[in-house]
Structure 1
Amino acid sequence: MRHCFYYVAIIAAIFAGCRQSGQNANQDKQEAAQADAAPNAITHSFFVAGPQFTGIIDEQNEVIWDAGRKSARDGFVLPNGNILICWSDTIKEFTREKEVVFTYVRHESNRELGTAVRLENGVTMITELGNNPRIIEVNKDGEILHQLPLQPETDNAHMQTRMARKLPNGNYLVPHLLAFAVKEYTPEGEIVKTFMTDRPELGGREAENWPFTAIRLANGNTVINLTHGNKTIEVDSEGTIVWKMSNDDVEGDPFADPCGAQRLSNGNTVIASYGTKGDIKLFEVTPQKEIVWTYEGPYKVHHFQILTTNGKALEGVPLK
C-alpha cells in the first residue's frame, strides 16, 4: 500500500510540474508579446522651441526645464549645459539656473530673428529678417564680427528664411521658403549652389513645398523639410532626390507642416509635426520609412534637439 501512495505522489508531482511549466511558458509568451507591442521601445529627451512651451522634456515626457517664455523659433542645449534660445525679438543664453549670460536684440531695421546657432569658436550665428535680411556673427558681447546679405526673393519678413546653418567649409546653408530654394552662400554672400523645391516630381509650386529646415550631412547630401508640402526629402550634392517621405508612405498622416528636423547617427530622421491637429508632435522614421518613436505630449514643436536616447547622451550634448 505504501508503494501505491508513493507512485501516486510521483505522478501528481509530474502533473503539477507540467502544469507549472505550461503556465510559465504562457507567461513568457505574454511578456514577449507585450514587449513586441510596446510602441516606444526607444525613448528620447529633447529640447523644444514651440508656440506653447520652450524648454527640455525628459525621456518620460516630463518637463525638467522651462524657459518661462513661449513661441521660440530656434535654440540648442550647448555642450556646457547652457541653453541658447531665439525668439522673434531677442536671443538669450541661459544657465540651468536661468541666469542670462548672453543677449542679442534684433536690429531696428529688421522685423524678426529666425536663427541662433553657437559656432565652435564661441561666436553666435544669427539670421535677421525684414528690410535688411542678413546673416550676422556676433561675439559674447553682442558685437557684430561678420555679416552678409541674404537673397530671399520676398519682402515678407516672416517667410524669408528659417533654419540657416553654417557649414564646415565656412559657407552658409539657407532655406528660403517663398523662393522654393535652399541656397548655399559663401561668407561674401555669393550663392554657389541652389536646390529648388518646386520641381515637377514634388508636385510643382502648387504643392507649396516651402523649404524650412536644411541639414548638410557628412556624406554631402542635404536633408530638407518641406513645410506645407508635408514632405521630407534628401538630395545629393547635385540636387537629385535620393530619399523622400510623406503621408503617402505611412498611416495616420504624421506630416503636418513639418518644421524642425534632425538626422540621428543611426540614420533615422526625427521630424517635427508643427501643424498637427492630432497627437503626434514629433516622430522618428527609419530609412525604410518606418515610424519607430513618437512624442505625443501636449506641446507643439517648431524646432527641437534630441538630447538623449535610452539614457545615453548624444555626442556634444551634456547628460544633465
Structure 2
Amino acid sequence: MRFSPAVIFAFGLLLCGASLASAQHRLALQGNGKLAIVDRDGKIEWEMKWGGIHDLHVLPNGNFLVQQGAAKVAEIDVKKKEVVWSYDSAKSNGNEGKRIEVHAFQPLADGGMMIAESGAQRIIEIDRSGKLLREIKMKVEHPNAHTDTRLARKLDNGNYLVCHEGDGFLREYDATGKIVWEYDVPLFGKEPKGGHGPESWGDKCFSAVRLPSGNTLIATGNGHSVLEVTPEKEVVWKVEQKELPNITLAWVTTLEVLKNGNYLIGNCHAGKGQPLLIELEPKTKKVVWTFDQFDTFGNDVSNTKALD
C-alpha cells in the first residue's frame, strides 16, 4: 500500500507530537511567592504560599524539604500543606548571634541531614533532633553570609562537593575538611560585570553534579553556561549563553541528569520569553523540551525538581 505525501506528512506530525508529549515533565518549583507542583500539561496541581529558596528536595514520603527564610531548613507535608519539621541554623549549634544563611542541604541515607552554613563557613551533619554529628570547616576566600555557598552535595564516596559562589570556586572536601579537588570557574578572558540577567558576567557557580565518568558538570551561575570538567580540570564539553536556538542563558542554576541521560538546566533571571527550564540532549545539544511560565512563576525560579 502506498501513501500520498500529505498522509506521510500528517503521520510525521503525529510522531513529532508524541515525542514532544513524552518529553514533558511533572515538576516541583518555587516562584512568585508560591511553592508548586506542575503537571505534565503545565497546569498547577498543587501550591502553597512560600518565599524564595535556593535548594529543593523531595523525600521518599512525598514531602518537600526546602529553605525557609534565610537560615531554616523545613520539611513540608504536601498533603496537609504544613511544616512538620524544621531546623534553624541561625540559632543552633554555636551560631547564636552570627549572621547565617542556608542555601544548601541534603537528606542523608542514615536519616540525618547535611547543611552548608554560609556565614559560619562550615558543613554540618545533624540528626532529626538537631544534634550535631559532624562539622567540616570550609575554605572561603571572600566571606559573606549570602555568597559563601550555593548548592553543596555529599557524594557517594563520602566527600562534599561545594559551590562557593563568592569565590567562583568549586571545592571537594573529604570527611576531615581537607580539599581533595577544586576548580576555579573561568571567566574566559572577560571582565566581571554586575547584575543578575543575561547582561551580567561572572563565575558565581550555583550547582555541580559528579558524573559516573568522574567528570563534573557545573552550572556557572552568571557565567551563563554549563561546563563538563575532567579531574584534570580540562573542559571537555560546554553549552554557552547563545548556543541553543532562540534561547539565552542567564543565571544558570540547578542541574539534573535524567534517567534518559538528558540534562535538565535551570535558567533563572532570563526575562520574559525565555524558558525557566531546558531539557538538553548532551551529545547533540538538541533541546528536547522547555518550560516557560514567566507569567505564573516570575523571573527568579532558581530551583526545580523533576518528579517523574
User: TM-score under structure 2 normalisation?
Assistant: 0.85
| Aligned with residue 77 of structure 2, among 69, 74, 95 | 95
How far does the alpha carbon of each residue in 1:3-47 deviate from its partner, in whole angstroms, 9 at most, with x for none? xxxxxxxxxxxxxxxxxx98x873563353354367833110111
Highest CA radius of gyration, 1 or 2? 1
> In terms of mean alpha carbon deviation, does 180-189 or 37-46 score higher?
37-46
| Aligned with residue 40 of structure 1, among 20, 32, 37 | 20
Quick one: distance in 2 between partners of 1:281 and 1:40?
17
Residue 265 of structure 2 corresponds to residue 271 of structure 1: yes
**TM superposition shift of 1:274:** 0.6
> In terms of mean alpha carbon deviation, does 202-211 or 286-295 score higher?
202-211
Residue 272 of structure 2 corresponds to residue 283 of structure 1: no
Partner of 1:17: none
Gap regions ≥5 residues in structure 1: 1-20, 309-320
Partner of 1:116: 105
Partner of 2:231: 237
Residue 41 of structure 2 corresponds to residue 60 of structure 1: yes
Greater relative contact order (CA < 8 Å, ≥ 6 in sequence): 1
Contact 1:57/1:63, CA 8 A, preserved across alignment: yes
Contact 1:47/1:76, CA 8 A, preserved across alignment: no
Quick one: distance in 2 between partners of 1:177 and 1:110?
17
Residue 88 of structure 2 corresponds to residue 105 of structure 1: yes
Contact 1:261/1:270, CA 8 A, preserved across alignment: yes
How far does the alpha carbon of each residue in 1:189-241 deviate from its partner, in whole angstroms, 9 at most, with x for none? 11111111126xx3356451221101111221111001111000011122211
Contact 1:213/1:260, CA 8 A, preserved across alignment: yes
Contact 1:221/1:237, CA 8 A, preserved across alignment: yes
- Matched letter for residue 190 of structure 1: K
**TM superposition shift of 1:146:** 1.1
- Matched letter for residue 288 of structure 2: V
Residue 151 of structure 2 corresponds to residue 163 of structure 1: yes
Q: 1:31 to 1:70 in 2, by over 3 A?
A: farther
The structure carrying a bigger helix percent of its residues is 1
| Aligned with residue 53 of structure 2, among 51, 56, 72 | 72
**TM superposition shift of 1:181:** 1.0
- Matched letter for residue 104 of structure 2: T
- Matched letter for residue 246 of structure 1: E
Contact 2:143/2:166, CA 8 A, preserved across alignment: no
Residue 246 of structure 2 corresponds to residue 252 of structure 1: yes
Q: 1:271 to 1:182 in 2, by over 3 A?
A: same
Aligned residue pair count: 285
Quick one: distance in 1 between partners of 2:224 and 2:32?
19
> In terms of mean alpha carbon deviation, does 56-65 or 170-179 score higher?
56-65
Q: SS state of the match for residue 48, structure 1?
A: strand
User: Identity of counterpart residues, as a percentage?
Assistant: 31
Q: SS state of the match for residue 16, structure 2?
A: helix
> In terms of mean alpha carbon deviation, does 248-257 or 216-225 score higher?
248-257
Gap regions ≥5 residues in structure 2: 91-95, 193-200
Q: SS state of the match for residue 232, structure 2?
A: coil
Contact 1:262/1:271, CA 8 A, preserved across alignment: yes
> In terms of mean alpha carbon deviation, does 24-33 or 74-83 score higher?
24-33
Quick one: distance in 1 between partners of 2:130 and 2:285?
43
Quick one: distance in 2 between partners of 1:147 and 1:50?
32
